[in-house]
Structure 1
Amino acid sequence: MIKIPPVSMLDWLIFIAVAVVSLLVLMAVLKRIWRGPQQQPYQQKLLFSPEATEALRLIDDAIGNQLRVFVSVSLAEFIALNPTLKKAQREQAWQQLYGETVDFVLCSPQDLKIRVAIVLADDSLSKADQRKQQQLWQALQATGLPIIDISPKAWPSASSLRDDILTACKAPSPVTVSSNSRLGQSRVEPVLNFDDMSDPDAEDEPQIKL
């Protein structure tokens, strides 16, 4: 009769430890197999929306290289708050400005002085958001920034947009050129301070041939 040696507590602990490690290794291998090859965390996407692409093509046809076009420019890059505003007014103006962008900013090629901004009408906005956006555009107009509003639903011709840009660049006071009259014409008291646009020099006007 074969005698089986007694199993000590240490032997049981070693056996359990080996079994646990083996199980963890097996689970890791199976997890890697089930998960498949590691995927790349990033992928490319379109730089511009179809509407922005079509608008940029239209602007290029209208002005060629006579004005420098910048796309999706943050308002904070070229708009400063009026330093004379009270604290509450500054906070309100900053909240209105923060995170907002202009679809296209057209600048003189020599000194990159801003001549006009072009915005795309966004019909997907709610009425409340449209009202806030219109108030912001009107406040920007009051600083001396001409704004042209174009709609993807009714693109203007290149010649028509060219005339609008030239008119806006030569305007002696804040103006709005709108294809669908979305932006109001009423006077809005300035709440923002736009640098270097209060008195454009005649020599700096873009030479656009009609």
Structure 2
Amino acid sequence: MSWSWIGGIALVLLAISLFRWSSGRGGRTSRAGCRRREFLFSPEERLFYAALRQALGEDYAIFGKIRVGDLVTPSAPRGELREAFEAVADRPVTFVLCRPSDLSVACAVELKQRPFPGTEAALPGDPLKRLCWAAGLPLVRFEVGSDYEAAEIRDTIARAVAAEPLPLAEPDGRREPHISCLDNFEI
């Protein structure tokens, strides 16, 4: 074998190793079969996030892509709510609004696509809606759009947060009435 063949093979191997090394340095290509996503949110979600941020200002901390299982937990080991929870526990909620003072969860916000005509009747009961209602977590849904009114977003969220009282549930799942004012109570 001549020295020119050995030099050519070495040059090809060097070019291949340099190509691999340079392609691994960029964030877009993969080293081990994975690549980094450029954005956490889709373009529609980023547009709504900007409108949400404008509408709420500093009233709430906004978190995105939080799993339903991190927001609610069914108290019963079996039953309809447990089945609903298992159906959506790993599904993320688009946005979660928290109070900035203690980061307690105030409201869940879903950004939803407009349904195709005729599919509304085919959808089964909404397990996320049932779970949020049972847990006393306000769930607000907005349809994807190209323009959002900040005042409408703010008012919708304010109504939902004010309208959803925290349920007082006993450990066995029952809800007992509680007297909050004894001023006009006669014995």
TM-score (norm 2): 0.63
Matched residue of 1:104: which SS? strand
Structure 1: how far apart are the matches of 2:123 and 2:165? 23
Task: Please tell me whether residue 54 in structure 1 is matched to residue 62 in structure 2.
Answer: no
Task: Please tell me whether residue 72 in structure 1 is matched to residue 65 in structure 2.
Answer: yes
- Displacement of 1:131 in angstroms is 2.9
Structure 1: how far apart are the matches of 2:58 and 2:109? 16
Higher RCO, 1 vs 2 (CA within 8 Å, ≥6 residues apart): 1
Indicate the residue corresponding to 1:120 in structure 2: 111
What's the CA shift string for 1:170-197, capped at 9, x where partnerless? 11459xxxxxxxxxxxxxxxxxxxxxxx
Structure 2: how far apart are the matches of 1:143 and 1:88? 14
Pick one of 142, 149, 159 that aligns with 1:167.
159
Contact preservation (8 Å) 1:150, 1:156: no
The residue type equivalent to 1:78 in the other structure is L
Larger Rg: 1
- Displacement of 1:53 in angstroms is 1.0
The residue type equivalent to 1:40 in the other structure is G
CA RMSD of superposed structures (Å): 3.6
Contact preservation (8 Å) 2:84, 2:127: no
Distance change >3 Å, CA 89–CA 49, structure 1 → 2 = closer
Unaligned runs of 5+ residues in structure 1 are 1-18, 175-210
Unaligned runs of 5+ residues in structure 2 are 29-35, 167-187
Once the two structures are superposed, the pairs formed by residues 1-210 of structure 1 within 5 Å of their partners are: 30=12, 33=15, 37-38=19-20, 39-40=23-24, 42-43=27-28, 44=36, 45-82=38-75, 84-86=76-78, 90=82, 92-123=83-114, 127=119, 131=123, 134-153=126-145, 155-173=147-165
The residue type equivalent to 2:86 in the other structure is Q
Indicate the residue corresponding to 2:178 in structure 1: none
What's the CA shift string for 1:93-126, capped at 9, x where partnerless? 443133211111111111212111111113489x
What's the CA shift string for 1:123-150, capped at 9, x where partnerless? 489x49x936833223322321111111
Sequence identity percentage: 22
